[in-house]
Amino acid sequence: MKRQGVKKEPGLSWIEVGAVVHSFVSGDKSHPQSQKIYAKLEAMVLKIKEAYSVSVDTWKFNGNKELEIEVNFHCKRLAVALGMIALPESSPIRVMKNLRVCLGCHTLIKMFSESERRNIVLRDSIRFHRFSGGSCSCGDYWRNQVEVRQTTSHLLSI
Ligand SMILES: [Zn+2]
Ligand SMILES: [Zn+2]
């Protein structure tokens, strides 16, 4: 899977709806339902901001300046939003990702699982994440493995 000599493989997320696989890159606007997807994503983010009383575009958690969630359109957020629109409410949302999920998206998807009352399963290049009720089955494995500084620069590079 890993290609040597390629500095940064483009991130790709995909989701199956019915028999059709929909794939996204970050900031993707090529999907025919793109407008709906972005509107849904923005509505979900707004819901969380209200719930957590956050009014700025960069969210700081636990008073930790380094741990921020930038509002962006990373591919897995788009795939999750399509799942919210297109799949029946009783159905879990299963998203695949060719790279490791970034910490910002991991935190955000945890929140979505609570605010939208949906179970979300994300298979990234390392492991399965099962998000439910605001927590993830990996027990925040991510946080222990990656330096926050590294994560922050990844977020800013998008
Ligand atoms: Zn991300
Ligand atoms: Zn996880």
CB contact set of 37 (below 8 Å; sequence gap of 6+): 31, 78, 81, 82, 85
Instruction: Give the confidence band of 60 by pLDDT, cuts at 50, 70, 90.
Output: low
What's residue 53's pLDDT? 57
C-beta of residue 123 within 8 angstroms of C-beta of residue 109: no
Model confidence at 5: pLDDT above 60: no
Q: Which ligand is located closest to the Cα atom of residue 158?
A: 1
Q: Domain ranges in the chain?
A: 13-157
* DSSP secondary structure letters along 3-31: PTT-S-PPP-EEEEETTEEEEE-TT---S
Residues 84-135: tens digit of each pLDDT? 999 999 899 999 999 999 888 888 898 899 899 999 999 999 999 999 998 8
Paired sense of beta strands 93-97 and 120-123, if any: parallel
The rounded mean pLDDT for the chain is 80
Distance 155 CA to ligand 1 centre (A): 7
Distance 108 CA to ligand 1 centre (A): 9
Residues 19-31: tens digit of each pLDDT? 999 999 999 999 9
Distance 151 CA to ligand 1 centre (A): 9
